[in-house]
Amino acid sequence: MRIWLTFSAALSFILFLHFPPPSHAVSPPITLLRSRKFADEPPKILSNQEIWFNQTLDHFSPYDHRQFRQRYFEFIDYFRIPDGPIFLIICGEGPCSGIVNDYIAVLAKKFGAAMVTLEHRYYGKSSPFKSLSTENLKYLSSKQALNDLATFRQYYQDSLNVKLNKTKVENPWFFFGGSYSGALSAWFRLKYPHLTCGSLASSAVVQAVFDFTEFDQQIGESAGPECKAALQETTQLIEHKLAINGRALKASFGAADLDIDGDFMYFVADAAVIAFQYGNPDRLCKPLVEAKNGGEDLVDAYAKYVKDYYIGTFGTNVQIYDQEFLKRTDINDDSSGRLWWFQVCTEVAYFQVAPSNDSVRSSIVDTKYHLDLCKNVFGHGVFPEVDATNLYYGGSKIAGTKIIFTNGSQDPWRHASKQTSSPEADLPSYLITCHNCGHCTDLRGCPQSPLVIEGNEQNCTSPDAVRKVRQKIVEHMDLWLSQCQDTGRSFF
């Protein structure tokens, strides 16, 4: 995610949107006559047919006319021809291999919407270059990505008009995103209010943060006193063993290749984060608290959780924590790690450092660790321009309109989001509160990973909390989309 965000959390929607890709194909943007019949078991992905679009490389240069191929997907089975809305689902910091059957699909059915999703530049198959050298990454930024979305949106609308034999009329558009792509969704409405009726910004990290101590503090709060104490003791024991025989310790966690102690301790911290961030707190806390109460070895218990769940079930590749691996400039299955770290090291930081006291994570994961990583992986002169990012977008004081912000109570990323409503500007903010309500609960239900079909909320400890926020989302969308249709396009 690191939407966004811890290494696996920072690659927030990689795990949500990663499906085996079909072969390349260049085809028109929409096939209105295509239909689909579902089996009794609804699919996890609604469409994975790749479609390609020629995108501008540098939107800010009047002289550079280079283009690259950008991948997108569409699902039109619910589309109400010819005037139904178009839902653009923004892909974030990872490969985008299709349109997922989450709660957005439920909304698309309700509103008769077409669904399209655009892969973020550089990620997945949408890389402008064959080498991901630092020099070649200079076009990787949120600003360029927003311009990609605006350009694509116009292209898709124009293509649709040709197919429907329409002129000078636009469908109402609505933008969606979660985590980093949630921030992009909010920022798009801020910068291009004439191109979308509104945006849903789920767990949207709109506030760039240099030293993000609130992240670790939320982990302690989400864990609760007993589990937090067990985690803190485990961290201390791991630090002690690391000093005595680090090689053996790392091997016991399946992380023998992480030579830098900071990389290993970041990996150890992330393994705990993921349980709370994605709605599976009991997978971590239950065995750890039982081990502590039973006088068992906490490090062994935690290592078992890491190997069985974080590496096994969740599917984390340990090498994405290895700075030597992050230096690789070839395009590979785990290039997203390098790409997201570049955005972290240049724009948003979100440095998940240990607070000065009462921390869950190790103090080895400090500001110096992050800055050293940025320099080691990308070279000198790379530094996160956090103040400039917040000045450009407004941070949590974003001055846009018609943006819905949603967050889960247990999600550490909510402290980089907008958590208070601004009713006068049509900027509602909703907090979904329950024991396993984490990252993008409104879209994913519980748990947030692995995927629950149509974002079913029944496994949330408070399904009503999710349903109430979803009803508010529908009400806002219904109003804003109807206002767009009254004018023929979106408006300020």
Q: How far apart are CA 216 and CA 359, in angstroms?
A: 7
3-state secondary structure 357-381: CCCCCCCCCCHHHHHHHHHHHHCCC
The model carries a pTM of: 0.92
- Per the residue annotation, which of 102, 335, 439, 442 is the catalytic one? 439
Q: How far apart are CA 115 and CA 47, in angstroms?
A: 10
Window from 12-26, 168-182, 328-342, 449-463 with minimum mean pLDDT: 12-26
Q: Tens digits of per-residue pLDDT, 180-197?
A: 999 999 999 999 999 999
What pLDDT is attached to residue 444?
97
Strand partners, 405: 201, 429
The two tokens of residue 310 are: 């974080």
The two tokens of residue 381 are: 């002169």
Amino acid, single-letter form, for residue 84 = G
Q: How far apart are CA 82 and CA 490, in angstroms?
A: 17
Q: Tens digits of per-residue pLDDT, 136-145?
A: 999 999 999 9
Contacts of 44 (CB under 8 A, 6+ apart): 19, 100, 101, 451, 453
Q: How far apart are CA 218 and CA 196, in angstroms?
A: 33
N- to C-terminal Cα distance for the chain?
30
- Per the residue annotation, which of 12, 47, 97, 179 is the catalytic one? 179
The two tokens of residue 118 are: 């655009």
Q: Are 267 and 314 in contact (CB under 8 A)?
A: no
Q: Tens digits of per-residue pLDDT, 445-461?
A: 999 999 999 999 999 99
Count Cβ atoms below 10 Å from residue 315 Cβ, excluding itself.
13
Q: Are 9 and 274 in contact (CB under 8 A)?
A: yes
The two tokens of residue 272 are: 């705990």
What pLDDT is attached to residue 488?
53
Phi and psi at residue 87, to the nearest 5° = -95, 120
Cα of 54 vs its chain's centroid, Å: 24
Q: Are 381 and 404 in contact (CB under 8 A)?
A: no
Q: How far apart are CA 84 and CA 150, in angstroms?
A: 19
Does residue 117 have a pLDDT over 60?
yes
Place of tokens 């790690």: 337
Q: Which whole number is the average pLDDT over 102-112?
A: 98
Contacts of 422 (CB under 8 A, 6+ apart): 429
Residue 396 three-state SS: helix
- Please, where are the H alpha helices in 253-384? 261-277, 281-293, 298-305, 323-326, 335-343, 367-378
Half-sphere exposure of 422 (CA within 13 A, CB side): 13
What pLDDT is attached to residue 480?
97
Return the higher-pLDDT residue of 2 and 34: 2
Q: How far apart are CA 3 and CA 11, in angstroms?
A: 7
Q: Cα angle at 157 between 453 and 481, to 5 degrees?
A: 60
The two tokens of residue 339 are: 């790409």
Q: Tens digits of per-residue pLDDT, 243-283?
A: 999 999 999 999 999 999 999 999 999 999 999 999 999 99
pLDDT band for position 486 (50/70/90)?
Answer: low
Place of tokens 């849903």: 200
Q: Are 121 and 96 in contact (CB under 8 A)?
A: no
In the predicted model, what is the mean pLDDT of the chain? 91
Four-residue CA torsion sign, 463, 469, 473, 476: positive
What pLDDT is attached to residue 14?
38
**In the annotation, is 179 catalytic?**
yes
Contacts of 91 (CB under 8 A, 6+ apart): 13, 17, 117, 118, 119, 120, 123, 124, 181
Q: Which whole number is the average pLDDT over 73-86?
A: 97
Does residue 5 have a pLDDT over 60?
no
Q: Tens digits of per-residue pLDDT, 19-76?
A: 233 222 232 333 232 223 333 568 899 999 999 999 999 999 999 999 999 999 999 9
Q: Which whole number is the average pLDDT over 405-416?
A: 98
Burial of 244: CB neighbours in 10 Å, binned 0-12, 13-18, 19+: exposed
- Per the residue annotation, which of 102, 270, 322, 411 is the catalytic one? 411
Q: Tens digits of per-residue pLDDT, 193-221?
A: 999 999 999 999 999 999 999 999 999 99
Q: How far apart are CA 140 and CA 128, in angstroms?
A: 10
Residue 334 three-state SS: coil
Q: Which whole number is the average pLDDT over 221-236?
A: 98
Contacts of 288 (CB under 8 A, 6+ apart): 227, 230, 231, 234, 298, 301, 302, 305
